[in-house]
Amino acid sequence: MATSLCTHVPALFLLLLLLVSAPCNAGILRTCKFDAIYQLGDSISDTGNLIREHPFSPFARLPYGGTFFKHATGRCSNGLLIIDFLALSAGIPFLQPYLNSNALFTRGRGVNFAVAGSTALPVETLADNGVVAPVTNSSLSRQLDWMFTHFNGICHDEDDCLEKLKTALFIVGEIGGNDYNYALFQGKSFDQVRSMMPLVIQAIKDAVTRVVGYGATRVIVPGNFPIGCFPVHLTVFRSNDSDAYDGFNCLKDLNNLSSHHNGLLKQAIKELRKELPHATILYGDYYNGYMRLLNKAKFLGLDPNSTQKACCGIGGDYNMELNKMCGAAEVGVCKNPDEYISWDGVHLTQKAYQLISGWLIHGVYWKLRCGV
């Protein structure tokens, strides 16, 4: 037992530091008295489902997880994710991945159904649009099926589920980004990607309707990040035209795609509020949270010269090469990940997620009506 405790001391100490150094609203979600959080989504939120589908995924080994856990957990970062910081704020233990056969899922914790690489649209629908989902078949609809199975196991009947879930927080997304990424990386035009967006938005809208039908009363639906600022997109879609870039050296056309998705999502949320007036359904603004990181980099303790470089990567202007991604033998890790926004060119660092989660909590807290 002593050896086991000692191995956890560094992680426990870091957890205390995070709680002390986090924004003043770090524990504010405790007043909401959530007794569980249920997460649907992709690699932004996955706490270990993909590595149980694919044990040899790079996310199953260091340096992933190295900053906080000192070992890989399946999180696509060096440490904690937004969902982890939400759980900390709510006083709820970190969510176990649904596919963890050793997890004890009880009321008072919640479940993470998110899978890295997943899509909002079923893989069959993507295939009909000429897009291949190369990572997982566990799309949003399959995650919802898992959720249904889980609730059947903990609820005696429909009324019991309604009673149990009224004090839970549901997070639907971020999801949809991979639908667009796969299409873009497989040669689809921006117009073709835009034509997919109504289908993606409808899938998200249907998911929210479904979780509210299960008994959810408070739901956060995050939008997409400004992908034109990500090292992977800056590398793949590099342009010699200076007009293609904005003042932060992000690719404008790619950010416009994200903005278009987010605009459609906000409209869908407005419609959902009318259709489901008994539920509180809120938009989670990841886009502007990310842009704030760029705009206030130095003030936030980030390295202004590394805002578009991967901490874990190698080569090129953005410290990443597609054939030598984070986790490969010759790929190194930056000295201080807390000075970086991007962890591996695709996902963010623990520090970036911590900052964005603080702004997210600040933005939704009063709308959740926790103090009422």
- Where are any strands of DSSP class E within the chain? 36-40, 110-112, 168-172, 218-222, 280-284, 312-313, 332-333
Q: What are the CA-CA distances from residue 305 to residues 80, 297, 309, 313 (Å)?
A: 24, 9, 8, 16
150 given a catalytic annotation: no
Which contiguous run of DSSP H or E holds residue 20? helix 2-21
- Rounded Cα–Cα distance for residues 350 and 358 (Å): 12
Residue with tokens 């309604």: 162
For the chain, the distance separating the N- and C-terminal CA atoms, rounded to the nearest angstrom, is 44
User: Among 199, 185, 274, which residue's Cα sits nearest to residue 236?
Assistant: 185
The token duo for 326 is 């984070």
Of 179, 285, 338, 344, the active-site residue reads 344
344 given a catalytic annotation: yes
Of 258, 306, 347, 357, the active-site residue reads 347
Of 42, 43, 118, 141, the active-site residue reads 43
User: Among 112, 145, 243, 128, which residue's Cα sits nearest to residue 179?
Assistant: 128
35 given a catalytic annotation: no
User: Among 132, 49, 59, which residue's Cα sits nearest to residue 98?
Assistant: 49
Residues with catalytic function = 43, 344, 347
